[in-house]
Amino acid sequence: AQSVSQHNHHVILSEAASLELGCNYSYGGTVNLFWYVQYPGQHLQLLLKYFSGDPLVKGIKGFEAEFIKSKFSFNLRKPSVQWSDTAEYFCAVYVPSWGKLQFGAGTQVVVTP
């Protein structure tokens, strides 16, 4: 069965700390990969996406993600988080044969001042 796994359900860190959120998927062919963010009380917004090309993708607000095909991973990183990065983060995978987006369970990130 197709699946998307996010390694951590909750992460708590201090401002200026570095953040890395893991995402793995189970499909061996061509994929489109996404990270979405949901700020408290808001809807999902796109942080970044990977379709092809350079496996290191830069998104909004200083986030980046690296696609490692051999590890079926698309981990999200930010070198120095801010309190405003407190949110839930979702990894998502689109496979053309699936015809729809598969989401991970989400990681709740809390940044303390």
Partner 1 sequence: NAGVTQTPKFQVLKTGQSMTLQCAQDMNHNSMYWYRQDPGMGLRLIYYSASEGTTDKGEVPNGYNVSRLNKREFSLRLESAAPSQTSVYFCASRRSQEEQYFGPGTRLTVT
Of the candidates 7, 11, 60, the residue with the CA atom closest to the CA atom of residue 34: 60
Residues binding partner 1: what is the number (CB under 8 A)?
19
**C-alpha 98: how far from chain center:** 20
Nearer to partner 1, 11 or 44 (CB): 44
Contact 22, 6 (CB under 8 A): yes
Stretch that binds partner 1, among 15-23, 31-39, 58-66, 71-79 (CB under 8 A): 31-39
DSSP secondary structure of 47-79: EEEE-SS-SEEE-GGG-EEEEEGGGTEEEEEES
Query: Dihedrals φ, ψ of 25, to 5°?
Result: -135, 160
100 is an interface residue for partner 1 by CB under 8 A: yes
CB-nearer residue toward partner 1: 81 or 92: 92
Stretch that binds partner 1, among 13-21, 44-52, 54-62, 73-81 (CB under 8 A): 44-52
Residues that bind partner 1 (CB under 8 A): 9, 32, 34, 36, 42-46, 49, 51, 90, 99-101, 103-106
